[in-house]
Structure 1
Amino acid sequence: MADSDHGAGGSADRGKAASAMLAIGELADRIGVPTHVLRYWETRFPQLRPLQRSGRRRYYRAEDVALAERIHHLLHVKGFTVEGARKALSQPNGVVAAEVGAPSVATPASVASSHGVPVDALIALRRRLAEAIG
């Protein structure tokens, strides 16, 4: 089996350290979008800039992975448009500024008073949503 066969396998990143870079196929499997969607996001979100090695293969660092997960959350969970997600990510407080008026488990006052959304809270919310959907 060739090395390139491991990129889209889905389980290839499970044995990696948390700080290891992910190939585009590994990140796509991790967040549940096709690879062409990640390439499209790179054209629309200037902050998303993976390393490109020989053969123009993309490798995503930990901060790129976190950003791609935030973009996915905004677009596919919160229902933002690409332009709305771009604006939310460019806000000094990140997603919070764009979500103050959105319905959530937290009260609008607690969301507005925080300086950011903890990643653990987003992960817990994502799990609850996945369980509710089935």
Structure 2
Amino acid sequence: MAGRVESGRTDKADSAFRTIGEVAQDLGIAQHVLRYWETRFPQLRPLQRAGNRRYYRPADVALVRRIDALLNREGYTIKGVQQLLAASATAPADSAPAPAPNDDDLIAALESVRDELRAALAAD
């Protein structure tokens, strides 16, 4: 539920901005590590308000999660993650996933598979 505190964590709407403390607590990453990552990954730029208070947008939080996963679970180095993020940012539009087939195409494909299975069973 939005706005409730459960086990020391404030639950906010997914679209809400988060402070560095909230992000650090939610993800189990020290605040100084998040500040360090800001110096190493130019893609990670939370908003900074008066007194240099940091506010992480939902996209920033998602990027922190991705960086954390790459560094701490998949074994990438800082340099490796930098290269991976830079490559994904400059990927051409051609590499975008193909659009999902429409219902008619999907039905035709399923009917084709059904017919092939029917023929294979009849041959036995």
Structure 1 length normalisation: TM-score?
0.60
- Identify, as 1 or 2, the structure richer in strand: 2
1-side partners of 2:77 and 2:32: how far apart? 18
2-side partners of 1:38 and 1:68: how far apart? 8
Equivalent residue in structure 2 for 1:20, among 16, 20, 24: 16
2-side partners of 1:39 and 1:78: how far apart? 21
Equivalent residue in structure 1 for 2:67, among 71, 74, 77: 71
Per the alignment, residue 32 of structure 2 pairs with: 36
Please tell me the root mean square deviation across aligned C-alpha atoms, in Å.
Answer: 2.3
Greater gyration radius? 2
Structure 2 residue runs of 5 or longer lacking an equivalent are 98-124
Equivalent residue in structure 2 for 1:59, among 24, 46, 55: 55
- The runs of at least 4 aligned residues of structure 1 exceeding 3 Å deviation read none
Q: Percent identity?
A: 53
Count of paired positions: 88
Map 1:1-134 → 2, pairs under 5 A: 10-12=8-10, 14=11, 16-92=12-88, 115=97
2-side partners of 1:49 and 1:36: how far apart? 15
Structure 1 residue runs of 5 or longer lacking an equivalent are 1-5, 95-112, 116-134
1-side partners of 2:86 and 2:61: how far apart? 17
1-side partners of 2:30 and 2:21: how far apart? 8
1:10 shift after superposition: 4.5
